[in-house]
Every structure is written in structure tokens, then in C-alpha cells.
Amino acid sequence: MTAPRVRLVLVRHGESHWNVEERYQGQQDSGLTPAGFAQAEMAAEVLVDRFGTADLVVTSDLPRARDTAAAYLRRVGGAAREDARLREIDVGTWGGRTRAEVAAAHPEEIAAFERGVDIPRGGGETFGQLRTRVWAALEEIAGAGTVVVFTHGGCVRVATAAALRVPSPGERGFAPVGNCSLTVIDHAGADGVHRLVAYNAPTAAGTRTNRVE
């Protein structure tokens, strides 16, 4: 008997004010821009067209993810389950600061990061820690059917690496994720293999990608 397919549809949030200003955001929140709200509406249309009404909708508990999810929920009804494990990486004291500001204040840490060392950003989390909590959350919600997950760029990258069993810090090899892009993972079936169906697929024109999560 064939096991029922489990499809995880990961959606990065719409453009935020700190995305525009290229500031580290982490678990702080600057709110969606007007463009970000428009992107959320366009993403919702694509989600309904491609996936219809999901069997489950889950969102990070940060406002920029919840507000992005709201556009889809208005179309399909119901409510989203919130999960704090789907928050962006904790960037500690780097939150609210630009990449240039952090580089000037912490050149050794930035140099280590660029060499591939998985440092705790600003005294917050490493990508390895992010990957552990994000993948644990996704494993728990991977019931039969389609699950739409509204989350963050760093979370999408580590989830993709985990699904493909790319050793940490292999997520560095994945391109930054655009606002309101879709990443689709078919969760393990009878063969125990996860399959990447789509990565960073755009739903709206003019979306941003950021190296500052």
C-alpha cells in the first residue's frame, strides 16, 4: 500500500521595513511594507491556484509571517497554527543593525562567518541550532496532505538542507530566499527520501533576497 503523500509548502514572509533597509531582523520585527502586503496577496493567489485549501496552515509567531499568512487565510478560511520554532534565527545584539554596521563593529566574527564558521550571531543562535528546531517543527506537522508554512528565509534554507540531508553548514550553498517565494518539499514516503520539488520559486515581481536574516 502506498503511503499518503505529505507536501510541505514553505512561504517566506513579505517584504519588511528592515528588509528594505538591509538590517538584521532575526526575532525582532519591523512589520511589512505596503509592497510586502501586496506580495502576500499575490502569494495567496498562487497558493490557492496551485494547492487549493491546505490540510493545515502553520505560521511563525512573528508578525511579519502572521500578516503574510492572513492573506491566504482570508481566501481559504480557517486559522493558522502558530509555532515559535519557525521563527527566524536569533541574531542577538545584531538585530536592527545594518550589515555594514555589524561588519565595522565585529570584523572578526563576520570574517569567521564568511569562512563558513557557524558562529552564534550577535550572541544568539547558530544555523545548526536553527536547523534543529525548524526541522523538529516540520517533522511534527508533516501529516498526510498539504501543509502550508509561513516562515523566514533562514528557516527555509536550513529546512531545505535538512530535507536533502546536506550536512551543516550546507545551507550556505543555497541561494538567499526571496520575499513570498515558495519552496516545496515532498516529505519522506515509503522510501524514506525527501524530495525537493521547488526552491525559492517567486510568486511576485520585484521581491528581495537578503543575506541579513
Which residues are designated catalytic?
13, 88
Burial class (CB in 10 A: 0-12, 13-18, 19+), 122: buried
Q: How many CB atoms lie within 10 A of CB 106?
A: 18
Task: Write the CA distances from 127 to 71, 103, 142, 163, integer angstroms.
Answer: 29, 19, 22, 15
CA distance 171 to 164: 10
Q: Are 9 and 182 in contact (CB under 8 A)?
A: yes
**Which are the contacts of 2, defined by CB distance < 8 A and separation ≥ 6?**
189, 190
**Which are the contacts of 169, defined by CB distance < 8 A and separation ≥ 6?**
116, 118, 127, 128
**Which are the contacts of 17, defined by CB distance < 8 A and separation ≥ 6?**
30, 31, 32, 33
Task: Write the CA distances from 105 to 48, 98, 99, 117, integer angstroms.
Answer: 45, 11, 10, 18
User: Per the structure block, which three cell numbers stand in for 102?
Assistant: 555589524
